[in-house]
Chains A and B, each alone.
Chain A
Amino acid sequence: MGTATPTTEPSAPRSRGLGLHGLITLLSLGMMAPFAWMALASLKSLAEVGDPGWMPAAGFHWGNYAEVFRVIPFLRFVANSLVIAGWVTLLQVFTSALAAFSFARLDWPGRDRVFFLYLGTMMLPGLVMLIANYQIMVRLGLVDTYLGLVLPASFSAFGTFLLRQFMLGIPRALDEAAEIDGASKWRIFWDVILPLSRPGLVTLAIFTFMGNYQSFFWPLVMMKTVDKYTLPVGLLFFDTDHGQATHLLMAAVTMSVAPLIVLFVLLQRQLIRGIQLGAVKG
C-alpha cells in the first residue's frame, strides 16, 4: 500500500490504465464472490449444497424460492420491515426538519444551549438507553406492537443536526424576501426552506430508512409474535430453526439482499453526498 501513487499522473502510458482497470476488476470480483456463492447456492438442491462445485450440478432449482414462502411468512416479514421503516422515515424526516428550521432560522433565547444538548446526546451509545427504554415500553404496554418499534426511532438528534447543517447553507436573503412579502414562519418553512433542502431531506430519508430496515436489536427484544417479526429477526429464527436447509436459507438471504443492491445502485449519488456531509461537518 505504501508504494501506491495518488491522484493524476498525466504522463503515464495508456496501457497501464487498462492494467489498473484489470486489477480493480479482479478485486471487485473478489468482493462480490460471497454474493455469487449465495445466489448459486440458493439454486442448488438439498443434496448438492455440500458439494465443492459452486454451480448447481443438476439444473437450477428455482423452486427453492417458492419453498421459502411456504416455510416462513417471508412476505409478511418484508412488509413489516417496510411499514416500520417507512413510518419511522416519514416521522423522523418531518420532525427533524421542523426542529432544524427552528435551530437554523428562528431566534429564541436558549436556542444554542438546547442545540448543544442535542449534539451531546449524539455521543451516547444506544445501549445506554435500550434497557430503560424497554422498561418504558413495558409500562406503556407497547411491547410486541408496531407502535413500540416506530415511536422510539422517530425522533433523532442526528437528523436534526444533519438538516440544520444543510439549512444553514441556504442564503438568508431568500427567507427575508419572503418575510417582506408577508409570509408567516410556517409559509417560509414549507414553501421556501423545505423545497430548497430537498437533497438533505432525501439523504436523511435514505439513511433512516436503511438503518431501520436493517435494524436488529430493538425488533429482536420487542417483537414476540412471529407474524410481527421484521425481516432481520425473521431471518435469524429461520436460521435457528432450519439451519441445515442451506439452499432455502440462501434463497431467503438472496431475496433480502437483492432489493438492497438495486436500491443502492439507484440511490448511490445521494448516499455518497450524504456520507460526506455528515462526516466532514461532524
Chain B
Amino acid sequence: MAQIRAENVEKHFGHVQALGRLHLEVETNEFVSVLGPSGCGKTTLLRIVAGLVPPDGGTVYVDGEPVTGPRPNTTLVFQHFRLLPWRTAEDNVAYGLRLRGMAKRQAREEVRPYIEMVGLEGFEKSYPYQLSGGMQQRVGLARALAIDPEILLMDEPFGALDAQTREVMQEELLRIWNATHKTVVFVTHSIDEALVLSDKVVVMAARPGRIIETIEVPFPRPRPTNLRADPVFAQLRTRMWELLRTTEPEETGVAGG
C-alpha cells in the first residue's frame, strides 16, 4: 500500500483551478520529485499533503488515513528556510523537540547527531543572520530530520541557493537519504535536480494543475557522482524538457478563465 495516496484532489483559488482531479501515489521510502513550471500547483499539492490547506475535492491518505491537518510523522522543508531569527542554529534544529515538551538542555543533546549529519559542527551557537544560505538550509534540514519523521515534504528547498551550493546540497541530501531512508516528496522546477535525486519524477502541467507523466529514474543507488555524463541522463533530460515545453501555457491562453 502506498504511504501517500492522493485521490481526485482538486483545489481552486477564486476562479483559477490550481489542481484538477489529481492522482498521486508515493511508496514508503520512495524519493519522488514533483517537477513542473511555476504556477502548476506543485507547491499547493505539497501543502495539501502536509495538511496545511484542505483540498476542495478528493482526499489525501497517509498510511491509509485521510489527512485533516498537520501530522507528527510528516515535516516540511521550505524554500526560504523559515528559521527563527532569534534562535541559534542548534535551538532552531531543536525546535520540533522543544514543541514536543523536551527541556532545552536535553533537546540540544538530542539534536547533536543531526547537526553532525548536515555538517553544522562549529556553527551551533550562530544565529541565522550569521550563516550563508546553504548553511541556513542545513539548519532547516536538520530541524526537519530531528523529529525523525517518516515523511519529508520538501518545497523547492534549494531553489533560493546559488548553483554551486545547490549541487553540494543535493549531494548532501542524497547521502542523508541513503542513511535515513525517509519517504520524500520533493518539489522542484529543475530537471537535473529531479533526475539526480529521485526514484520517480512526476511531471506536472498548469491550468488546471495536473500530472501529465510519471517517469521512473533507472539509476542505481548510491548515485554515481558522474551521473550527469550518463547518456540515459541526457535522454531523460531531453524527454522531460520536451514535456515541460509542450505544456507551457500559451501566451494567448485565457489565464484563470
- Asked if A and B are interacting partners, one says no
A residues near B (Cβ < 8 Å) are none
B residues near A (Cβ < 8 Å) are none
